[in-house]
Amino acid sequence: MRLAFLLFVAAGLAWTQTAAMRLGLKEAVDLALAPEGNTRARLAAEMVRQAEARSAQARAALLPNADASLVDQSQTRNLAAFGIRIQLPIPSFQFPELVGPFSTLDLRASATQSVFDIGAIRRYQASRAATAASRAENEAARNQVTDAVARAYLAALRGRAAMDAGKANVEVAESLLKLVRSQKAAGTGTGIEVTRAEVQLANERQRLLVTRNEVARADLQLLKLVGLALETKLELTDKLGYVPSDPVTVEAARELARRSRPELKAQQEREESARLGFSAAKMERLPTLAAFGDYGSIGTGAGRLLPTRSYGIALRVPLFDGGRRDGRRAEAASALRQERIRTRALEAQVELEVRLALDALESSDGQVKTAAEGLRLSENELAQARRRYQAGVTTSLEVTDAQARLERARENQVAALAGYNAAQIDLNTALGRNQEFSSGR
């Protein structure tokens, strides 16, 4: 399903520049999390592969190590250098000090296997915990990318809503200018009223131009996060709206966050890895046991080879290494204490984020309702002011004041809706359920 969508996107990019690409929030998130999408998500995936490779290296210490060799050499030896001096009671005969050259051919296979090494086992377990932490960090990075894309998409939606409000303000200003001109032509208006309406219209058009530039900037930020070409034109399919959220208590939200937040899971795995690393450092004091053996043929040539072999058990008992093991153990203990401190701090941070998100959502919900009521009242006020002006009961100043209050009411509604949707993003991020923004997770 996702592959088909990405193929559709690729075809859309090959379109002419005049064609706009339709993009919803879920599709934007899917694009950002695709293998060739957002840079941060791609780097996090590479970190998982790196951790898996390190775990494989740690596991190698517990598996057999086998080698094969073929050595064909010609050599000479100085016997005197080895303290070999042979004197024979034979006149005019001296035993040679230099022996050779002579050739040897050695074809051999050897293997070693760890039998008992608790330190190596603990290091492998620590590497597995580190790999689990890396996977959780990858999920956390994907959630952060989802959060960033959702916020960028929201900024683009807010810009478009503000632009729609700006267009509506321009239309109101144009209609009011037409009204004051007709009143002046009828002899009930003045020139200053026409000038005032023209200034108001010019101001609204200026604000609309600024809003259009903000929309273009928001689109560029969204394109960069998603990983699309910056010249792509966007047509957002979602709208800035209000969807009431289900009520949730602080206790329930906190428990859900502790179970779902990948950052917390990653930190817990890092603490476990540090604990196992400390255990591995302590276990270095224990003896280690390893088995070894080799088998092969050696001789002066291919036709003179004889089979030889060796095998045995090696017991290594650490006695004194100048304090290196004690230093590693102290370092590992410090690392474990640091990770425990980070875990407690992150748990407190998660609870803080949950509480702030719930408070912001409750506050923004009330702001949306208040802004909607304010917009309704402002529209009624402007309609009444226009009727009064047309009837000659008041001047255009009352209409202009009502127009300004309607403009602020529209801005308040856009800000309230954007704040409410941002609060929902904050809550989803705090609870670790950003997968709701994606259609493929």
pLDDT value, residue 13: 46
Helix (H, G, I), strand (E, B) or coil at 101: strand
- What one-character-per-residue DSSP string does 344-406 give? HHHHHHHHHHHHHHHHHHHHHHHHHHHHHHHHHHHHHHHHHHHHHHHTTSS-HHHHHHHHHHH
The answer to whether 313 and 241 are in contact (CB under 8 A) is no
pLDDT value, residue 395: 81
d(CA 157, CA 174): 26
Nearest-CA neighbor of 267 among 341, 358, 170, 168? 341
pLDDT single digits (tens) 163-190: 999 999 999 999 988 988 888 888 777 8
Q: Which of 22-26, 290-294, 433-437 has the lowest mean pLDDT?
A: 433-437
pLDDT value, residue 436: 67
Give pTM, 2 decimals: 0.79
d(CA 356, CA 43): 30
pLDDT value, residue 244: 87
What tokens appear for 113 in the block?
Answer: 């296997």
Tell which wins on pLDDT, 327 or 36.
327
Helix (H, G, I), strand (E, B) or coil at 112: strand
Percent of the chain with pLDDT over 90: 62
pLDDT value, residue 8: 45
Q: Does the pLDDT value for residue 422 go beyond 70?
A: yes
What tokens appear for 62 in the block?
Answer: 């517990």
**Average pLDDT, rounded, for the chain:** 88
The helix or strand, by DSSP H or E, that contains position 262, with its residue range, turns out to be: helix 262-283
Average the pLDDT over 279-285 and give the result. Answer: 91
pLDDT value, residue 189: 76
Which residue shows structure tokens 């009502």? 402
Average the pLDDT over 200-212 and give the result. Answer: 93
Could you tell me the pLDDT band of residue 275, with boundaries at 50, 70 and 90? very high
Nearest-CA neighbor of 173 among 433, 402, 10? 402
Nearest-CA neighbor of 194 among 174, 182, 177, 208? 177
Contacts of 11 (CB under 8 A, 6+ apart): none
**Would you list the domain boundaries of the chain?**
18-431
- The CATH architecture annotation of domain 18-431 reads Up-down Bundle (1.20)
Cα 211 to chain center, whole Å?
A: 31
Angle at 146 between CA 238 and CA 236, to 5 degrees: 20
Q: Does the pLDDT value for residue 4 go beyond 50?
A: no
3-state helix, strand, coil in the chain (%, to 5): 65, 15, 20
Average the pLDDT over 375-380 and give the result. Answer: 94
Average the pLDDT over 341-347 and give the result. Answer: 95
In 61-187, where does DSSP find H-type helix? Answer: 118-185
Contacts of 133 (CB under 8 A, 6+ apart): 51, 266, 267, 269, 270, 272, 273
pLDDT value, residue 399: 87
The answer to whether 343 and 136 are in contact (CB under 8 A) is no
Helix (H, G, I), strand (E, B) or coil at 88: coil
d(CA 47, CA 53): 10
Average the pLDDT over 271-280 and give the result. Answer: 94
Nearest-CA neighbor of 368 among 410, 418, 416, 422? 416
Distances (CA, A) of 429 to 53, 82, 303, 422: 30, 75, 75, 10
pLDDT value, residue 432: 87
pLDDT value, residue 267: 93
d(CA 337, CA 211): 51
Q: Which of 37-41, 89-93, 294-298 has the lowest mean pLDDT?
A: 89-93
Could you tell me the pLDDT band of residue 247, with boundaries at 50, 70 and 90? confident
Average the pLDDT over 252-259 and give the result. Answer: 91
What tokens appear for 131 in the block?
Answer: 């790999």
Type of residue found at 440: G
The helix or strand, by DSSP H or E, that contains position 408, with its residue range, turns out to be: helix 396-431
Beta bridge pairs of residue 297: 107, 307
pLDDT single digits (tens) 24-64: 999 999 998 888 888 888 999 999 999 999 999 999 999 99
Contacts of 402 (CB under 8 A, 6+ apart): 378, 381, 382, 384, 385, 386
391: phi then psi, degrees, rounded to nearest 5: -80, -5
DSSP structural state of residue 70: E
Distances (CA, A) of 254 to 260, 315, 423, 431: 10, 52, 16, 8
* Range among 99-108, 263-272, 396-405 with highest mean pLDDT value: 263-272
How many residues would you count in the chain? 441
Which residue shows structure tokens 């706009």? 20
Tell whether omega for the bond before 101 is within 30 degrees of 0, i.e. cis.
Answer: yes
Crossing angle of helices 118-185 and 262-283, rounded to 10°:
160
Could you tell me the pLDDT band of residue 214, with boundaries at 50, 70 and 90? very high
pLDDT value, residue 35: 85
